[in-house]
Structure 1
Amino acid sequence: MGNLTLVSPALASLVAVCVLLWARKQADERKIGSIPSVGSSGLLEYYTGGWRFLFHYPEMLAEGCEKYPGRVFRVPRVFRWDFTVAGTALTQDVVTAPENVLSAVAANRDASSLQLDFTMGPELSTNSFHIDVVRTKLTRNLGKCFPGIRDEVSCAFDELIASDGTDWKLVTVLPMTTKVVARTVNHVFVGLPTCRNEDYLDLAMQYTIDVFLRAQLISLLPFFLRPIFGPLISSRNQSVRKGLKHLGPIIEYRIEQEKQHGSDWPGKPNDYLSWLLESVDINDERTAPDIVSRILAMNMAGIHTTSNAFAHALFDLTTHPSYINALREEAEQIVEEHGWTKAALNKMHKIDSFLRESQRMHDNGPFAITRQVLDPLGFKFSDGTVVPYGSIVNVTFRGVHFNKTNYENPDVFDGFRFYKMREEPNGALFNRHMTSTSLDHLSFGHKVHTCPGRFLAATELKTMLAHLVINYDLRAEIEGVRPPDDVFGIVIVPNGRAKPQYISPPGIPGPDMTLLSLAKLWDSGR
């Protein structure tokens, strides 16, 4: 009887929770019943469909975009519906809505793939001055930082490829590009020698993976359990402790130098860490743990998105090798005339176009924009569709980037698509640069929450691509075959196991099949 006495209240509580969830689900269904859904809209689909998204979300979104072009449709997630926008007009509604109506901050904190409050800390959204520093001081200093960026790109590629100049070498693309980007971005963030410290780089690269994976686990919990188990699942504290080992002494040293010699102390580095320290009140959040948290956050924003974009571009280049010579000729000519400068990059129009087209065709996830509805009355789109308070609204890349009204032959990769637009009679008004955002190109977002680091990302990507095509030949492991992307939930990344090949210098004859087979065996046995 004692056991029964203990079990009965627990069972009653469980039943009560289930009833409440069912009642809430029924109320939501009555509010949103007119909005079409991918798959069945019944109660069973609400739960089973929520698990489908873990492995089939791109297909679910593609189905929605095809069935409901230019409309809002809903896709089941675990414990909720996601409302997805496909089409330019409705995208305009989202990007122009004020923050207190459709909130990017609330979406990131409470309901997105980041689970920001638990994985990275609520202070990063309540006081996001680290993002303002990127938007202002970092962007303004890119020209001064460019020699370091160029040097790090060159050194990193030479070390990681390490070709003897006489033979092809198989290189696994994504790990290589991630390491190059991690070194380059941290040259700007924290400078030498830390940007080449292997232990620090491992932390910087792993941090993003930890955040996304643990956020996915947290998002599988009911909302009322997340405050309990979220901090236990998160690896935030461990990451900050590791970061302090490398950055703590540097931060304390710079603060002490400023106390002794003033804000412009002799030898003060011109890097993101210095700009961060300049931007906070010494009595407020100018503590080493807080600064480390923000540098890790910017590593998360800057490493994997950029390295994924470059891996996609390399796969596109080796799948369509006819572009290599044209890109090489442009890069060589401009570098010869103007040297390796930030201004020279701006003249590499074909490289700019190729990278922008690769971004259009491939993305780091299915969503360009994510917002949460904060208006108690819900959010009403221009077509009359209303989504309820608390809902998550997403703008899907596919509904914009593959829309035939936006692009001719949108399913076909055209590396010089935007270069040809520039060459048209009205090319003087060209506004489709890599860093430009618009309602038909959302790789960096649009309007208020446009990616503040896009100028740094574009500088890195152009420098990396120009360096590679000048100094190396490239070819796919399997000619003409682009490796399929890896997908988990809303995370889409380039294939992490695929191996284009590189030779140095350009022009060395390609390997025969015997040599290629030996290279594969050698590489797989390392």
Structure 2
Amino acid sequence: MWSWTVAENGTSFIPDRALLHAVEYPSRATVYVVLTLASILFLSGYTRSGTQKLAPGVMVVGGNGKQTIRANRERFREHAKEMLEEGYRKSDGGFFYVPSPLGERLMIPVRYLEELKAAPVEEVDFVATFIEREIVDSFADLFPACEAMLTQIVARVSSCMFGGTTLSHNEEWVKSSIDFAIDGFIGAQKIKKYPEFVKPLVARFIPEIRKIAAHYEAAEAAAIPMLESRRRTGETATDLLCWMAEQAKGEEQDLRFLAGILLKVSFAAIHTSAAAPAQLLYDLCEHPEFIEPLREEVNNAIGHDGLIDKSGFMRMAKMDSFMKESQRFNPLLLITFERVIHRPLTLSSGFTIPAHTTIGIPTQAITMDETLYPSPGAFDPFRFSKMREERPEMDGRAQYVASNPASLGFGYGRHACPGRFFAAQEIKAIMAYILQNYDLRFPAGQGRPESLRVETQFLPHPGATVEFRRRS
């Protein structure tokens, strides 16, 4: 019997309670006046980047005329990938501006990564066994009834790491940790159209932002009793919540503060980690000839106890390569290492980045550079495992979790994603379980769906169907 599931899409905006507190005081009349003014500004083409100073001599994708830039800001919403690849190609990997709804972003050559990551913060600001058991329990509870199966599974597995099974089996927490990101993403898309000064007032009329407070309350209801019990009994645990409580100092020890941090961490962990398995399932269905080699590798990684330990996951080089190649074609973000330059910053070459410039690295365009990746347009699942075999010195640089100038999917420097090692093991565990227990395919006539594009984000298409059949 074949059944189906639908992939869930990811997000990249962390809503904060501060915005909600800021909207409690204005009178209704004041709100209407400000909203009217905001609408006039918005309709007349107001943008905070209208007076943005551009570095002289740097190309602007699509041209640097005022009307052209304005048109390309809108084009960026759906064609960011093509615009970034065009800029990277025409600048030969050098500096270029790409217009976006939030202003012209300056793309930086990777050779400046080291000096930028070392720049002072005031100048450059940065915008195991129990896991496998939780995966088994999650599949048993959720498959095949839940459309957002992967998101639910990742939410529970991540919650197990955050606060043990007490947290991962708390249905209200799991639901709120998922919805928090969805509401935050939708709310962000709605509110970012308005000027900064009016956003706190507009927020009170956006339903998704109004729901954020309830998600914080759910986090407090789940986390505070656990924290209070542990303080009272002196109990310790090997989870994130316990570690945060032990390391907290001063105001950080406030239980509501810790619960809020837990919610924000869950935002970063859940939807990003759910997006990767969704893309991997699509790639496996599109290239079924790679299922058996991966399944064989999984079987060889299983220990005598029937589980995969840390060394077993490390031996899954083909799975790691498959994950990295899938990420190369469908990265969560087209631009990484995004920073805001607060004051003019002169680089070693003499090039000066103007103050108030948003910079970034065109990560996806770099991964399609044929000088770095032979035949970059060809999907080669074992590209990186072959690289590790043929060139042992590349072993560390060719891994899924690698963070280097040619592999920036997880960022770079002091702000590289610290959870990427856990995420990699979590994704491998999910894929290993699926390969061990299910056959999968697209329905007849369906091919791999293109990822949804929301400016610089690539999201798994939520409308595609994947059929599963339990293996005997």
> Do both share a fold (TM > 0.5)?
yes
**Which protein is richer in helix relative to its size?**
1
Contact 2:177–2:267 at 8 Å: present in 1 too?
Answer: yes
Q: Which residue of 2 aligns with 1:214?
A: 187
Which letter maps to 1:485?
S
Residue 121 of structure 2, aligned match among 99, 107, 125: 99
Residue 40 of structure 1, aligned match among 34, 47, 63: 63
What CA deviation, in whole Å up to 9, does each residue of 1:349-404 have, x standing for no partner?
111111122122211121122000022xx233455543310110011122321111
Relative to 1, partners in 2 of residues 1:427 and 1:198: Cα closer, same or farther, differing over 3 Å?
A: same
SS, match of residue 432 in structure 1: coil
* C-alpha distance in 1 between matches for 2:144 and 2:462: 20
Relative to 1, partners in 2 of residues 1:400 and 1:299: Cα closer, same or farther, differing over 3 Å?
A: same
Q: Which residue of 2 aligns with 1:372?
A: 340
Comparing 186-195 with 414-423, which one deviates more in the overlay? 186-195
Contact 1:244–1:288 at 8 Å: present in 2 too?
Answer: no
Q: Which residue of 2 aligns with 1:520?
A: none
Question: Superposition RMSD on alpha carbons, in Å?
Answer: 3.3
* C-alpha distance in 2 between matches for 1:392 and 1:492: 20
Relative to 1, partners in 2 of residues 1:481 and 1:66: Cα closer, same or farther, differing over 3 Å?
A: farther
Which letter maps to 1:101?
E
* C-alpha distance in 1 between matches for 2:291 and 2:77: 36
Identical-residue share of aligned pairs (%): 26
Q: Which residue of 2 aligns with 1:151?
A: 133
Q: Which residue of 2 aligns with 1:61?
A: 84
Which letter maps to 2:124?
L
What is the number of equivalent residue pairs in this alignment? 437
1:234-245 to 2 correspondences below 5 Å:
238-245=211-218
SS, match of residue 502 in structure 1: strand
Q: Which residue of 2 aligns with 1:297?
A: 264
Following superposition, the deviation at residue 417 of structure 1 comes to: 1.1
What CA deviation, in whole Å up to 9, does each residue of 1:394-425 have, x standing for no partner?
11122321111111111111111111122125
Following superposition, the deviation at residue 255 of structure 1 comes to: 2.5
* C-alpha distance in 2 between matches for 1:231 and 1:388: 35
SS, match of residue 435 in structure 1: coil
Give TM-score, length-normalised by structure 1. Answer: 0.75
Following superposition, the deviation at residue 431 of structure 1 comes to: 3.8
SS, match of residue 172 in structure 2: helix
If you compute each CA radius of gyration, which structure gives the higher value, 1 or 2? 1
What CA deviation, in whole Å up to 9, does each residue of 1:325-351 have, x standing for no partner?
001111112204574222221111111
1:194-205 to 2 correspondences below 5 Å:
194-205=167-178
* C-alpha distance in 2 between matches for 1:469 and 1:15: 55
Relative to 1, partners in 2 of residues 1:36 and 1:272: Cα closer, same or farther, differing over 3 Å?
A: same
Is 1:251 the counterpart of 2:224? The answer is yes
* C-alpha distance in 2 between matches for 1:482 and 1:351: 19
Structure 1 ranges of 4+ moved more than 6 A: 10-24
Q: Which residue of 2 aligns with 1:117?
A: none
Following superposition, the deviation at residue 243 of structure 1 comes to: 4.0
Q: Structure 2, unaligned stretches of length 5 or more?
A: 1-34
SS, match of residue 182 in structure 2: helix
Is 1:317 the counterpart of 2:340? The answer is no
Following superposition, the deviation at residue 454 of structure 1 comes to: 0.7
Give TM-score, length-normalised by structure 2. Answer: 0.83
Q: Which residue of 1 aligns with 2:273?
A: 306
Is 1:88 the counterpart of 2:93? The answer is no
* C-alpha distance in 1 between matches for 2:313 and 2:152: 22
Residue 270 of structure 1, aligned match among 238, 242, 262: 238
* C-alpha distance in 2 between matches for 1:149 and 1:24: 46
What CA deviation, in whole Å up to 9, does each residue of 1:130-154 have, x standing for no partner?
xxxxxxxxxxxxxxxx222111112
Residue 224 of structure 1, aligned match among 197, 203, 219: 197
Q: Which residue of 1 aligns with 2:12?
A: none
Q: Which residue of 1 aligns with 2:398?
A: 432
Relative to 1, partners in 2 of residues 1:309 and 1:162: Cα closer, same or farther, differing over 3 Å?
A: closer
Which letter maps to 1:396?
P
Residue 165 of structure 2, aligned match among 192, 207, 214: 192
Is 1:404 the counterpart of 2:370? The answer is yes
Following superposition, the deviation at residue 274 of structure 1 comes to: 1.6
Contact 1:354–1:415 at 8 Å: present in 2 too?
Answer: yes
Contact 1:244–1:289 at 8 Å: present in 2 too?
Answer: no
* C-alpha distance in 2 between matches for 1:59 and 1:428: 30
* C-alpha distance in 2 between matches for 1:230 and 1:161: 37
Comparing 284-293 with 388-397, which one deviates more in the overlay? 284-293
* C-alpha distance in 2 between matches for 1:12 and 1:349: 57
Q: Structure 1, unaligned stretches of length 5 or more?
A: 1-9, 109-145, 164-170, 507-526
Q: Which residue of 2 aligns with 1:334?
A: 301
Q: Which residue of 1 aligns with 2:460?
A: 494
Contact 1:203–1:239 at 8 Å: present in 2 too?
Answer: no
What CA deviation, in whole Å up to 9, does each residue of 1:466-501 have, x standing for no partner?
111111112123568211111222332010111121
What CA deviation, in whole Å up to 9, does each residue of 1:402-457 have, x standing for no partner?
11111111111111111112212535855422222111111111221110111110
Residue 361 of structure 1, aligned match among 329, 345, 350: 329
Following superposition, the deviation at residue 238 of structure 1 comes to: 4.0
